[in-house]
Homo-oligomer: A and B are copies of this chain.
Amino acid sequence: MTRVAIIGAGPSGLAQLRAFQSAGKKGAAIPELVCFEKQSDWGGLWNYTWRTGVDEFGEPVHGSMYRYLWSNGPKECLEFADYSFEEHFGRPIPSYPPRAVLHDYIMGRVEKSDVRKFVRFSTVVRWIDFDEKTQLFTVTVKDLKKDELYSETFDYVVVASGHFSTPNVPHFPGIEVFPGRVLHAHDFRDANEFVGKNLLVVGSSYSAEDIASQCYKYGAKSITFSYRSKPLNFDWPECFTVKPLLTKLTGKTAHFKDGSEAVVDAVLLCTGYLHHFPFLADNLRLRTNNRLYPAGLYKGIFWQDNPKLIYLGMQDQYFTFNMFDAQAWYARDVILGRIKLPPAAERQADIDHWRAIEEKLETAFDGIDFQTEYMRDLIPATDYPMFDLDKVAALFKEWEEDKVKSIMGYRDNSYVSIMTGNKAPPHHTKWMEALDDSFDAFQNRPEAAAE
């Protein structure tokens, strides 16, 4: 029987399990599935942990999730095409839910799907190699609870271990003697630590934007952003300052490229993540920066040199959950023989075609359109429900504009679900005032929660 190893039970790995379960329900014979998950529960990044550094078994902590995180994009953009928010919650909910609510939604679909039996929890993948003779992968894992290694062979390997877990941490002169806390976004957990503090936030991507906003919301005294190439051009509150690149630190003073200075109490490095696969032999290992079309992956999924090796969700992302679905359904159909992969040269030409376009992208809107076309390329090849991709693209653009209008207020907007056509209700509390991010506080009106 064909055996498929899935590395990771986060959104991508779960999409793969769900894809097979969906085919099975419709009568297909599905392969033997084994999903290896390092954490003790599924959910990947959405499975919040208080731990930082290494976990209770000495393995690097997967989670980069922090407390009080709310979706930073409309939930209407990430809705599963086969399982709407309305189906899960029984009614429309606001457009920007907090972590616990999104977690509940992602988990809801798989819990109903009876796929938990395929997951081996607290099991970390140590090593994968491929035997040309047998055409099989040997996957060596460690059962962390039993403290034992073992190996099994598989016909396919699906790498769904994510790429927001291994921080990219640059050095700045003087950071080694900065008299206060220095941390990467990966280790950020609770904004309360920074109440009344002057924070230096290095970076200008989503982590910088969101962590700075959150620290402001919970009471940081000031935020100084430092950017390398592109400032975070939003209408920030008065206690925010935007500076060019940090050149050095002397004591608590940060020095910037334009000669200006700021005295800060803590340094938050929101400097991105590395694609990190310490368990893969060099000839199987994806090496890429975070971009919309990593090289070497046919359809953004299949390792060109050995397409039995499958990568999910390794792209920079506008689309998220439903893109992992589109990829997982496609990968499933290749494994099931429903889609026949073209020969290597043809695959390479397809990769080159997409890369040539990707390399010419300039604006965020270009990127949104590109990933929308990528979705349009994948979905019709499988039975994953097609949905109005142009509407999603338009919504991404509306969201970008809403952020420009009000970076602290954009989460108070509501949008129409592309899947159900129903408009989200406004949340009962403005985001800036919603300090309780719990499932119950979000789902109930405040007075109901207090009863």
| Chain A contact residues, CB within 8 Å of chain B | 48-56, 58-61, 67, 126-127, 142, 147-149, 166-171, 175-184, 186-187, 189-190, 192-193, 266, 274, 276, 278, 281-282, 287
Contact = CB atoms under 8 A, between A and B. Distances in A.
Contact of A181 (B55, B149, B186, B190): B190
Contacts of A67: 177
Given A52-B53, A281-B149, A282-B148, A276 B180 contact: no
Contacts of A49: 176
Nearest to A184: B53
Given A54-B169, A58-B278, 4 more contacts: A54-B167, A60-B60, A179-B190, A181-B190
A336 B424 CA distance: 76
Which of A48, A166, A278 is packed against the most chain B CB atoms within 10 Å?
A278
Number of copies: 2
Contacts of A278: 58-59, 126, 142
Contact of A50 (B52, B149, B176, B274): B176
Nearest to A140: B127
Contacts of A147: 287
Contacts of A274: 58
Nearest to A174: B50
A149 B56 contact: no
Contacts of A182: 50, 52, 189
B50 A54 contact: no
A49 B177 CA distance: 10
22 contacts: A50-B176, A50-B178, A52-B52, A52-B53, A52-B182, A53-B54, A53-B61, A53-B187, A54-B167, A54-B169, A56-B171, A58-B166, A58-B167, A58-B278, A126-B127, A126-B278, A142-B278, A149-B281, A179-B193, A180-B190, A180-B192, A193-B266
Contacts of A51: 169
Most chain B beta-carbon neighbours within 10 Å: one of A50, A126, A175, A281: A50
A180 B167 contact: no
Given A149-B282, A186-B53, A276-B58, A179 B166 contact: no
Contact of A60 (B54, B192, B193): B54
A275 to B, nearest CB: 9
When A and B form their complex, which 3 residue pairs have the shortest distance between CB atoms, in order from nearest? A179-B192, A50-B176, A58-B166
Contacts of A175: 50
